[in-house]
Amino acid sequence: MKRSSGRPLTPKPSAPARRGATRRAYDYDWAIFTAWCTQHGLTSLPATPDVVAVFASDRATAGLNPSTINRRVAAIGHHHRAGGYPAPTAMPTAGRLAEVLAGIRAEHGGAKRQKHPADAAELRNMLAAIEGEGLRALRDRAILAIGMAAALRHSEIVALQVEHIGIVPEGLRLTIAHSKTDQARQGIVIAIPEGSRIRPKALLLAWMAAAGHAEGPLFRRLSRRDAMTPAAMSDRAIARLVQHYAAAAGYDPTLFAGHSLRAGFLTEGASQGATIFKLQEVSRHKSVQVLADYVRNADLFKDHAGQRFL
């Protein structure tokens, strides 16, 4: 006869209430799965393990990393249990699904090296490291501030034209004429608040006043003697600029790149409690899964399950 461990047994809730970012991420993952099922004429609730296996394989082919796919599968299981059905991974016919998930981990499981996001504190330190009031200093401050404030890709920063800037009392209205997610090239308008800490509007206006150009590329290439040229900067120049001022502020420059400005906005916005929808208004992501990851990472230690006993 087995001896009792002496510890009281507590029943596990059948559908535990998931709070905070995990619940939001699960809801978005479920919405993505149901939309995919509708698109392919499949039943999402209850879904067979084979359907989930095809979904996981399709997402891996689309470039999703294994951790995100595993979370999507977990979200599917959660919503099945909440609806009174067993999770597809727990069904007797789940062998094929387990094989597919193991294959995805084996093939795509290498950790991706993402560049470090420049959050608000780091960006302020980088701005403070820019010395002087010459053209280069004014331009570079404006690039860092606008790049983060509008969550711009480095290719979008160098594509900005003077006519894309709208000055309003509340801040700026920035038109993104060509974007990775705007294949129809209809243009997207982004609001940038006046700001009281990074002050993106003030920094941009200071550059524009000093540069004095009324049209053409907003951020121009400068000569070695800091004379302005008519040519736009290259996207590689943005990456070098970010790394240069990261080093000047005392950070490891190899951790930073042009994308650090965009990622910094998302990281800081999520940590300050911005919703996925508000982040998406600025970042223009078509899929919310990337944004869900930012929100989840920002909330990792909030309402932690072990907070009261660890």
Catalytic residues, by residue number, are 153, 180, 259, 262, 285, 294
Cβ contact 26:75 at 8 Å:
yes
Burial class (CB in 10 A: 0-12, 13-18, 19+), 169: exposed
Please give, one letter per residue, the 3-state secondary structure of the chain.
Answer: CCCCCCCCCCCCCCCCCCCHHHHHHHHHHHHHHHHHHHHCCCCCCCCCHHHHHHHHHHHHHCCCCHHHHHHHHHHHHHHHHHCCCCCHHHCCCCHHHHHHHHHHHHHHCCCCCCCCCCCHHHHHHHHHCCCCCCHHHHHHHHHHHHHHHCCCCHHHHHHCEHHHEEEECCEEEEEECCECCECCCCCEEEEEECCCCCCHHHHHHHHHHHHCCCCCECCEEECCCCCEEEEECCHHHHHHHHHHHHHHCCCCHHHCCCHHHHHHHHHHHHHCCCCHHHHHHHHCCCCCHHHHHHHHHHCCCCCCCCCCCC
Q: How far apart are CA 148 and CA 121, in angstroms?
A: 12
Q: If we measure between CA atoms, which residue out of 267, 257, 274 comes closest to residue 294?
A: 267
Between 235-248 and 120-128, two packed helices, what is the crossing angle to 10 degrees?
A: 80
